[in-house]
């Protein structure tokens, strides 16, 4: 029996319907995934745009900071310095594109805002764009506008200077005093003898001598590039042989104390008056002596500070020793504002002793590692030799020995003595002597604050004449006594100085007023700086983080070392870069070394 085709109905199978459901599910999943990817892309695009905008703002601030360094360098080259009233502010709120830049100078030595007496500086430039800040820092020397009329004649620009030879043994060290504020300048250490013969400087292969140059007898370089090449080769060109002048004449001693024959003069407790003993003077073991006022103490024989004793100089002390100066595991410290000058006719013996500025870090002890605190540097304590045979029983060269773990933060000037460092002893300062020896284990860490760039290592200084030769009057200088220096200044028509300029006994009459003005300016700046910091604290603590203007103000204050402007003390200026450049009329050629460029959000987030 046959069936009609029209009666047959076709229906999809169960498996086909299942496949259609799966396809729909996949389609929905694909649509959802595509939507998720689209949303993620949109969100990431927004984040990328925001990040790009932040990078753009940061780049603007960074460029402003770097341009601020260039502008400040040009101003310093031209001799533009902030006045005391401006507290180191070189320029403020100078627009550059969509950013602004501020620049502040700090004295490397005092850490206060720079003044007209600043020798080297830390330059802090803040570039601000939006709520972003970039800070660039640099260091350099302030170019003296009258460098050719300034002469430093005591060879303090040399880490080691000798009239005969210099010997540095294996494992002995010659380096910069790392904590000296001027160490940041990274200037090479100068080493020389009077003959300017490099063969007289013997530095053993295994000695730890770092970044030094040796004086050579040759004409001064005729260009800055030639000078750099010479220094890179380890040569310091000096055109004329030099003579180490005799030390200054010691002050007049008071009348001799009335003592029984052979009785030593003993110091203990508070000393406020001068004294003169016909024999020895001693500070007994574990005694404590404090010197105040202007005091001269003379010993015709030895001056001895015994084991465990301590001598603190709070005033001005001139110590004149006819024979030997002896420190036995004892301390001699000079407080801030004090000064110590020691004249020694015989030998110097320092055995595991300390001499130098009053130590602010009571845990320092006797640090011979090269990292001792600066505490005012090597100028506060100066040791001079007396001329050979002066008040001495022997005419042989005196022996100045630092041994054990002795630490001396001082300048040693002894043309008639052999200076020898032994054991683990360390001299922080400089040494000038008849012969200088650094034995194995000892170290000399030069204090670059002693170098004013006005001596024999600076071709633009008043030491040299217009032909590039050392002035004949300087070559013939007899001594560093104030009288001789004053006559030299008169002959040259220049200002002459030595490292002892901060010691009232040896201060030149022409420098008295200038030194007093310098101290007054530094005191005034310190006071105004402290007032500005105190006045700015409430403003910074109450700043509104959401306000970009407040953020920039806060950032600017941080860039100046938290020294906000006191409007009653500082002239407010907002000149353009072009206006600042119009103030520049001459070029002096300062050397500015970029240290860092760092950035952060000016809003404090």
What b/e string do you get for 231-244 counting C-beta neighbours within 10 Å, with b at 16 or more?
A: beeebbbbbbebeb
On whether residue 198 sits in a domain, the answer given is no
Quickly tell me which residue has 């700086």 as its tokens. 529
Q: What dihedral do alpha carbons 194, 198, 200, 202 form, nearest 10°?
A: 130
Q: Is 573 in contact with 92 (CB distance < 8 Å)?
A: yes
Those residues with Cβ within 8 angstroms of residue 472's Cβ, 6 or more apart along the chain or in another chain: none
**Residue 336 lies in domain:** 265-417
SS in 3 state form for 423-434? CCCEEEEEEEEE
Count the Cβ atoms, other than its own, within 10 Å of residue 250: 24
404 Ramachandran zone, left/alpha/beta (phi>0; psi -120 to 50): left
Number of domains in the chain: 1
Q: Is 430 in contact with 160 (CB distance < 8 Å)?
A: yes
pTM (predicted TM-score): 0.79
Spatial separation of the C-alpha atoms in residues 494 and 309, rounded to whole Å: 44
On whether residue 412 sits in a domain, the answer given is yes
Which neighbouring-strand residues pair with 381?
340
Tokens of 555: 């950032």
Determine whether 567 is exposed, middle or buried from the number of CB atoms within 10 Å of its CB (0-12, 13-18, 19+).
exposed
Quick check: helix, strand or coil at residue 554?
A: helix
pLDDT in tens, 170-211: 999 999 999 999 999 999 999 999 999 999 999 999 999 989
Q: Which helix (H) or strand (E) holds 86?
A: none
State residue 474's pLDDT score. 93
Q: Is 229 in contact with 251 (CB distance < 8 Å)?
A: no
State residue 533's pLDDT score. 53
Could you give the C-alpha distances from 466 to 148, 462, 471, 476, in angstroms and in order?
9, 10, 9, 18
> Of 131, 142, 74, 84, nearest to 108 (Cα)?
142
Spatial separation of the C-alpha atoms in residues 464 and 415, rounded to whole Å: 23
Tokens of 410: 């001082």
Q: Where are the beta strands (DSSP E) in 371-425?
A: 381-385, 398-403, 407-421
* CA 287-290-293 angle, 5° bins: 155
State residue 471's pLDDT score. 93
Q: How many helices and strands, by DSSP H and E, does the chain display?
A: 7, 34
Spatial separation of the C-alpha atoms in residues 333 and 324, rounded to whole Å: 19
On whether residue 304 sits in a domain, the answer given is yes
Quickly tell me which residue has 């030879």 as its tokens. 165
SS in 3 state form for 205-242? CCCEECCEEEEEECCCCCCHHHHHHHHHCCEEEECCCC
Q: Is 218 in contact with 237 (CB distance < 8 Å)?
A: yes
On whether residue 321 sits in a domain, the answer given is yes
Residue 344: how many CA atoms within 13 Å on its side-chain side? 30
Q: Is 437 in contact with 418 (CB distance < 8 Å)?
A: yes
Quick check: helix, strand or coil at residue 537?
A: helix
State residue 566's pLDDT score. 32
Spatial separation of the C-alpha atoms in residues 200 and 323, rounded to whole Å: 30
Q: Is 179 in contact with 371 (CB distance < 8 Å)?
A: yes
> Of 525, 595, 605, 598, nearest to 559 (Cα)?
598
Q: Is 398 in contact with 416 (CB distance < 8 Å)?
A: yes
State residue 407's pLDDT score. 96
Those residues with Cβ within 8 angstroms of residue 538's Cβ, 6 or more apart along the chain or in another chain: none
Could you give the C-alpha distances from 388 to 163, 247, 397, in angstroms and in order?
14, 11, 7
Ranges of residues in the chain with a pLDDT under 70 are 1-22, 26, 38-51, 257-263, 388-396, 499-502, 505, 507-591, 593-605
On whether residue 408 sits in a domain, the answer given is yes
Q: What dihedral do alpha carbons 88, 557, 127, 62 form, nearest 10°?
A: 110
On whether residue 314 sits in a domain, the answer given is yes
On whether residue 151 sits in a domain, the answer given is no
Quick check: helix, strand or coil at residue 123?
A: strand
Spatial separation of the C-alpha atoms in residues 443 and 446, rounded to whole Å: 10
State residue 546's pLDDT score. 40
State residue 155's pLDDT score. 95
Q: Is 298 in contact with 276 (CB distance < 8 Å)?
A: yes
State residue 234's pLDDT score. 87
> Of 359, 363, 364, 325, nearest to 342 (Cα)?
325
On whether residue 358 sits in a domain, the answer given is yes
State residue 47's pLDDT score. 60
Tokens of 226: 């030639």
């Amino acid at each position: 029996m046959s069936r009609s085709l029209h009666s047959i109905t076709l229906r999809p199978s169960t498996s086909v319907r299942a496949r259609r459901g799966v396809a729909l599910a996949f389609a929905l999943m694909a649509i959802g995934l595509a939507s998720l990817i689209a949303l993620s892309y949109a969100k990431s695009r927004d984040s990328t745009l925001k990040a790009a905008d932040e990078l753009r703002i940061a780049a603007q601030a960074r460029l402003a900071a770097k341009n601020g360094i260039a502008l400040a360098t040009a101003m310093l080259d031209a001799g533009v310095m902030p006045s005391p009233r401006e507290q180191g502010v070189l320029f403020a709120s100078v627009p550059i594109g969509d950013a602004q830049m501020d620049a502040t100078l700090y004295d490397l030595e005092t850490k206060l805002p720079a003044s007209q007496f600043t020798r080297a500086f830390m330059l802090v430039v803040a570039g601000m764009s939006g709520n972003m800040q970039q800070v660039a820092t640099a260091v350099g020397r302030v170019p003296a506008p009258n460098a050719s009329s300034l002469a430093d004649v005591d060879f303090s620009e040399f880490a080691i200077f000798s009239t005969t030879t210099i010997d540095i043994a294996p494992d002995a060290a010659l380096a910069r005093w790392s904590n000296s504020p001027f160490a940041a300048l990274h200037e090479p250490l100068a080493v020389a003898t009077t003959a300017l013969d490099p063969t007289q400087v013997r530095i053993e292969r295994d000695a730890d001598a770092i970044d030094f140059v040796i004086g050579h007898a040759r004409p001064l370089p005729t260009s800055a590039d030639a000078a750099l090449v010479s220094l890179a080769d380890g040569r310091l060109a000096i055109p004329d042989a030099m003579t180490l002048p005799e030390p200054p004449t010691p002050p007049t001693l008071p009348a001799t104390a009335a003592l029984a024959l052979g009785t030593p003069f003993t110091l203990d407790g508070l000393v406020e008056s001068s004294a003169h003993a016909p024999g020895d003077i001693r500070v007994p073991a574990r005694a404590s002596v404090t010197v105040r006022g202007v005091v001269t103490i003379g010993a015709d024989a030895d001056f001895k500070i015994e084991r465990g004793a301590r001598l603190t100089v709070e005033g001005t002390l001139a110590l004149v020793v006819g024979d030997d100066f002896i420190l036995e595991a004892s301390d001699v410290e000079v407080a801030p504002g004090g000064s110590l000058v020691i004249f020694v006719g015989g030998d110097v013996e320092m055995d595991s002793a300390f001499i130098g500025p009053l130590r602010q870090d009571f845990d320092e002890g006797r640090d011979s590692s090269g990292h001792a605190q600066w505490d005012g540097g090597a100028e506060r304590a100066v040791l001079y030799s007396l001329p050979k045979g002066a008040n001495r029983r022997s005419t042989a060269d005196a022996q100045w020995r630092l041994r054990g773990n002795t630490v001396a933060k001082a300048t040693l000037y002894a043309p008639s003595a052999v200076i020898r460092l032994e054991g683990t002893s360390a001299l922080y300062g400089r040494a000038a002597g008849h012969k200088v020896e650094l034995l194995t284990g000892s170290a000399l860490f030069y204090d670059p604050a002693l170098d004013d760039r006005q001596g024999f290592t600076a071709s633009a200084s008043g030491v040299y004449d217009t032909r590039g030769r050392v002035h004949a009057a300087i070559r013939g200088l007899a001594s560093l006594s104030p009288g001789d220096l004053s006559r030299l200044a008169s002959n040259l028509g220049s200002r002459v100085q030595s490292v002892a300029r901060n010691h009232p006994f040896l201060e030149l009459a022409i420098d008295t007023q200038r030194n007093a003005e310098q101290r007054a300016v530094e005191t005034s700046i310190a006071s105004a700086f402290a007032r500005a910091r105190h006045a700015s604290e409430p403003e910074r603590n109450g700043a509104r983080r959401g306000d970009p203007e407040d953020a920039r103000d806060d950032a600017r204050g941080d860039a100046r070392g938290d020294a906000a402007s006191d409007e009653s003390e500082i002239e407010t200026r907002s000149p353009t870069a072009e206006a600042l450049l119009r103030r520049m009329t001459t070029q002096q050629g300062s050397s500015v070394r970029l240290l860092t460029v760092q950035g952060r959000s000016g809003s404090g987030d």
